[in-house]
Amino acid sequence: MTPPQLRDRRAKIVATVGPASHAPRMLRQLFLAGVDTFRLNFSHGSHDDHRRAFDAIRALEAELDQPIGILQDLQGPKIRIGQVPGGPRDLLAGQSLILRLGTTCAPDEIPLPHPEIFAAIRPGDTLLVDDGRIRLVVTSHEAESISTRVVAGGKLQDRKGVNLPDTVVALPALTGKDRADLEFGLSLGVDWVALSFVQRAEDLVEVKELIRGRAGLIAKIEKPSALLDLPRIVAESDAVMIARGDLGVEIPPEEVPGRQKEIIRLCRQQDRPVIVATQMLESMISTPTPTRAEASDVANAIHDGADAVMLSAETASGLFPLEAVAMMDRIIRRTEAHPFYAASMQTSAPHADTPNRAIAGAAVDLANALSVPAIVAFSSTGASGRRIASRRAARPTVLLTASPEVARRMALVWGIRPKLAAEIADHDTVPILAEEAVLALGIGHVAQSVIVVCGFPFGVPGTTNSIRVTQLGGV
């Protein structure tokens, strides 16, 4: 396995921790196999479970002296039917079905304990039950009942989830459970918080106020309504996750690939890291190799320009978590080595429409023109690293920061190799720290040059204004 500090791929891997991967020895193996950020899924497991995993990851980080990101994924509101009277029921296409507000109802009805739905639903709206296996269309509704027609039938069972692709439901993005989980995660020191059920940009504002800069906020795109407010959602977030599972239930499957490309390109234009998630190597939950379609799916996400790709049940509960990470690592490497990859990244590069973006673009262009082995960026917030990453430079970017929190968040960002370094004291310190970092990572050798990006006055966020060419061994 390649030591993590010497990985030469650009896109990152996020792996979910669960029963198959929570042991410290397995976490270590997964990280060495290619994981850059670990996801703690708060839809499952207790706080004690997540605390043990968190502590094990931080111990591994200290052992290997390598920043590791930890992502807390909040469950969000879950819309479910109640208990089906008389047990599971077979629904046939064309028949009528009434949904009744509350937890009890007549024998021929189905309970739906969500008053928000009854307030928002309209005739013609669709309800998808059990991940879309059952499809209902609303024919009429009253204050406490919704009359529907079954379009696609199946066996209806207790507590199955309900998706509402045509309806904006006035549900808060944060539930009581989410609030408690969020405070717990922030007290541990998670690096990222992923928010479910985002419908509009305003859903992110309250959560950002609760986080108060203690972690980066990831907007999960899984609702059709989010697609209508996508530019504002991306602008309000620190990163984006394309949660294709729920999104693929609520929009036609044939629309998902195009939407994925659209979201990734918008994130690059706004310098936001973007994760592609759900069902990437799903067959590897139970088999040691993926299907050809799954390998193509991962490769296409990389060709689209994703910062990271995510494994869910493959590493959380699957039989082959280590093999899944190793396979994803190999697919990324092979894809990034293909001649078409660099060309596709160039055609979708963001515009240099601000001074900071112009400097990032100039640094990348200069690195390409001089064929230097690396770009070195000094940053107190990680913003300059994200701007350089959005240009998808052909050379690795070493991001030097004095903040462990920033270094860990940057483990999610395309092409960034985060490394802790002392604060810049003066202009003479800049080339010294840059040379030490590049040589320690084994990227370059003496007599080569590197591109160094930093800001003056030193240590002040948002002041990136300097590009210099520094020769290794020349200080």
What is the chain's mean pLDDT, rounded?
A: 93
Cα dihedral sign, 254-278-246-84: positive
- Residue 74, classed as helix, strand or coil, is coil
Cβ atoms within 10 A of the Cβ of 156, count?
21
Q: Look at residue 40 in the predicted model and tell me its pLDDT.
A: 98
Domain 4-76+173-342, CATH 1.10.10.10 — does that match? no
Task: Using DSSP bridges, classify how beta strands 126-129 and 134-142 pair: parallel, antiparallel or unpaired.
Answer: antiparallel
Q: Residue holding tokens 């203690």? A: 214
CATH architecture for the domain at 355-471: 3-Layer(aba) Sandwich (3.40)
Residue 4 confidence (pLDDT) above 90? no
Burial class (CB in 10 A: 0-12, 13-18, 19+), 367: buried
Q: Which of 35, 87, 74, 127 is nearest to 324 (CA)?
A: 35
Tens-place pLDDT, residues 157-190: 999 999 999 998 888 889 999 999 999 999 999 9
Torsion of CA 334, 337, 342, 343, to 10 degrees: -80
Whether 316 contacts 281, CB under 8 Å: no
pLDDT > 70 in the chain, percent = 97
Single-letter amino acid, residue 285? I
Q: Look at residue 319 in the predicted model and tell me its pLDDT.
A: 98
CA 239 to CA 218: how far, in whole Å? Answer: 5
Query: Which of 37, 278, 401, 470 is an active site residue?
Result: 278
Query: Which of 80, 133, 177, 200 is an active site residue?
Result: 80
Tell me the chain's radius of gyration from C-alpha atoms: 24
Q: Which two tokens stand for residue 209?
A: 């106020």
What value, to the nearest 5°, has the Cα angle with vertex 154 and ends 151 and 155?
140
Residue 450 CA to its chain's centroid (Å): 30
Query: Which of 39, 357, 409, 417 is an active site residue?
Result: 39
Q: Please give the model's pTM, rounded to 2 decimal places.
A: 0.92
What is the fold of 89-163?
Answer: M1 Pyruvate Kinase; Domain 3 (2.40.33)
Which H or E run includes 73? strand 69-73
CA 365 to CA 363: how far, in whole Å? Answer: 6
Residue 108 confidence (pLDDT) above 70? yes
Q: Look at residue 474 in the predicted model and tell me its pLDDT.
A: 64
- Residue ranges per domain, the chain? 4-76+173-342, 89-163, 355-471
Tens-place pLDDT, residues 186-227: 999 999 999 999 999 999 999 999 999 999 999 999 999 999
Our answer to whether residue 220 is catalytic in this structure is yes
Q: Which of 269, 296, 280, 294 is nearest to 243 (CA)?
A: 280
DSSP state string for 322-346: HHHHHHHHHHHHHHHTSHHHHHHHH
Whether 196 contacts 222, CB under 8 Å: yes
Residue 426 confidence (pLDDT) above 80? no
Q: Look at residue 145 in the predicted model and tell me its pLDDT.
A: 96
- What does the buried/exposed string (b/e) look like for 160-192 if buried means 16 or more CB atoms within 10 Å of the residue's CB? bebbbbbbebebebbbeebeebbeebbebebbb
Measured CA distances, 145 to 83, 121, 138, 292 (Å): 16, 10, 11, 46
Query: Which of 220, 259, 392, 395 is an active site residue?
Result: 220
Main-chain dihedrals φ then ψ at residue 372, nearest 5 degrees: -75, 160
Our answer to whether residue 278 is catalytic in this structure is yes
Cα dihedral sign, 150-75-281-335: positive
Torsion of CA 196, 200, 205, 208, to 10 degrees: 30
